[in-house]
Structure 1
Amino acid sequence: MAYLLALVAAALFGVGASVQQRVAAEAPDESVLHLSLLWYLVRQPLWLVGVATALIGNLFAGSALGMGGVALVQPLLVARLIFALPLAARWNRRSLHRREWLGAVAVIAGLAAFMVAGRPSPGENGVDSDGSVPRWLLTGGTVAAITAGLVLIARRLRPNSEAPVLGAGAGMLFALQSGLTSMAVSRFGRDGLLALLTTWPTYAVVGTAVAGTLLAQSAYKLAPLPASYPPLAATEPLAGIAIGLSLLGGTLVVTPAAVAVQALGLAVMTVGVFVLASSSLVTGAHHTTGRPTPDDATVEAHQEERRSGS
């Protein structure tokens, strides 16, 4: 049953992401990394359908994780790429070639190898205790610093290269959001609604969710799904494991053989992301958005305009 629930969740995640990217691609160019992008999107009914689809996927994913655990379910959830990429390509009247399929399979297989070898346990310690606050602040600050660094790097890249970096940043924030949500739910179950509304984790969840959504939708705006989505789908579970290890008493197998397989899995996954990000579906993005590919001068002018406007 856990397999079935995870596959249903993966399908819903993939469809939801495809719908969101389709709408975000039509947003005004100047809205990238600005809250005006979210204001534009929340007024688009189709985008709201995509968000609702992903939220339903979260329900199925939660049920699957409760039955099967992280190591079993998470690789299946990354199969969302198998559902998202063909749908996005068909909507854009393109077809996936062997290169794109191999890239998607490499991302999934790489993460699966990491999970199977590491057998990560998310842990349960320190989810909601007074002593956990400094650790949460340290972890949140680390994630924020890494994400800010990714954004700074992304702003100096071409749009098609910027999208994967922003997607990775969104994955980092969504992983932190999941950990904070666990803390907020724990507080609600222990002390009730008033405690939930008067403690910091609730508002940290909201802030992290908004920031992560802004980065993800900006990535969707800048490049087709093969470039913007795989880094998010791969980074989120890996960052979640790291947060589980640092905060929740999680464990990871670290024998020499296991570490070697984990390193190989990460390498394969990285290659898969690169293959997808450099595919013709991405480098030929003008076919999917209806806009010409900008030349170097236009790209530089666009980047300078965004820096001066931020």
Structure 2
Amino acid sequence: MLLGIIVNILAAISAGLATVLLRRVATEVEKPDDAKLLPILIRRPLWWVGIAALLGNFVGTYFAFRLAPVPVVQPFAAVSLIAVVVFAIPLLGERPNKAEFIGIIAVVVGLFVSLATIGDDAGLKEISPVVFIAVVGGLLVYCVVAYIIFRRGVIKGDSARGALVGTVTGTAMGVGAAMLALLGAARNGDPGSWIPPTGLIIFAIVLMLIAGAWGIGRLQHALRELPANYVAPTHQITLLLVPIVVAVTVYGQTLPGGFTQWTMRIVALVLVVGGIYILSTAKQVAEDMEVLEAGGGHGGIHPVPPQGHAEPVETQVEAAAPAPDADPASSTRTT
């Protein structure tokens, strides 16, 4: 089980490296229309290194799910955000701010507490079709309904809209990750583990691709309209939690333990989620996530103010304009 954790940490580090590499490539090229961007990117070796790192994350995550239950290894996916901050120092010349240090400490402490609660391996239990449809179908229905609400502007305010669409994209991509977890758990080699039928395996592969691609696409569109640090917190937190929820409720991967162990697990999860929130609202990580999820950069990237406070454009314009009763002679004008 410890090997599964190590593999998932390496996969998360690979994802963080990919994020920073793709951001560096995006900052080195002009930002033309999306149709012209990909041909520019594919001619840059560093872009291919970033894509290879992303594939490494996918493969590593799959093997991590083969080696250990989802509730054990999934929290360690938060290491990717720490990796973004660390790799950005030599590759982008950026320095962590105070908030990022606090977020890193919270995540690291939470993961160490989580290590102390590891119990016996929990193999895959026989999946009830009713439970599978209820849980996974319910999550997908939420994605569609919530995204319709987002697109129709039922909820006002950029911060609220960003939080809503973040849960949509995180849930969709989380369902994709949960299907990847099913594929890994189905081949974990545990004699007591249930082996899914071939039809379910094929369905899981198709759903993984569709849900993941849909979530990435919706995230890209959302990041065109909203600052990344409005979307990132709920996206990252939901993406972390959805595979755990599916694993516990559908796959039967519950963890043994008494009151003390479960209290420690809850504390660990709170620390990790809190650290993710702090890191994903920090300017550096939020901007890097925007570049990664948007396919390596796109035109019109929104500036992301630190700590999630965006100054409205109207306020900026009003601040730049002279007061109505100001003396024209007192203002400085260049011609």
TM-score normalised by the shorter chain: which range applies? 0.5 to 0.7
Percent of residue pairs identical: 17
Instruction: Give runs of aligned pairs for residues 1-310 of structure 1, distance below 5 A.
Output: 2=3, 5-20=7-22, 44-45=41-42, 49-67=49-67, 69-70=69-70, 73-88=73-88, 93-110=93-110, 113=113, 116-117=116-117, 119=119, 123-126=123-126, 131-132=128-129, 134-148=130-144, 151=147, 152=149, 156-158=156-158, 166-181=165-180, 191=198, 200-218=203-221, 222-223=226-227, 232-253=235-256, 255-279=258-282, 281=284, 295-296=311-312
Q: Is the 8 A contact 1:6 1:64 kept in 2?
A: yes
Query: How far apart are residue 296 of structure 1 and its match?
Result: 2.6
Aligned to 1:124, what secondary structure does the other structure show? coil
Q: TM-score, normalised by structure 2?
A: 0.61
Distance 1:282 1:73, change over 3 A: closer
Aligned residues: 280
Task: Name the counterpart of 2:328.
Answer: none
**Structure-2 separation of matches of 1:296 and 1:290:** 12
Aligned to 2:96, what secondary structure does the other structure show? coil
Unaligned runs of 5+ in 1: 29-35, 300-310
Q: Deviations over 1:5-25 (max 9, x none)?
A: 344322211112334556789
Q: TM-score, normalised by structure 1?
A: 0.65
Aligned to 1:79, what secondary structure does the other structure show? helix
Distance 1:54 1:292, change over 3 A: closer
Q: Is the 8 A contact 1:147 1:173 kept in 2?
A: yes
Aligned to 1:10, what secondary structure does the other structure show? helix
Higher Rg: 2
Aligned to 1:16, what secondary structure does the other structure show? helix
**Structure-1 separation of matches of 2:244 and 2:254:** 9
The residue type equivalent to 1:272 in the other structure is G
Unaligned runs of 5+ in 2: 188-194, 292-300, 316-335
Distance 1:252 1:52, change over 3 A: same
Q: Deviations over 1:13-39 (max 9, x none)?
A: 1112334556789998xxxxxxx97x7
The residue type equivalent to 1:85 in the other structure is V
Aligned to 1:78, what secondary structure does the other structure show? helix
**Structure-2 separation of matches of 1:170 and 1:235:** 8
Q: Deviations over 1:115-165 (max 9, x none)?
A: 7547596641235xxx52x33221222212444576556974437x76666
**Structure-2 separation of matches of 1:69 and 1:77:** 13
Q: CA RMSD in A?
A: 4.8
**Structure-2 separation of matches of 1:228 and 1:21:** 18
Q: Is the 8 A contact 1:121 1:251 kept in 2?
A: no
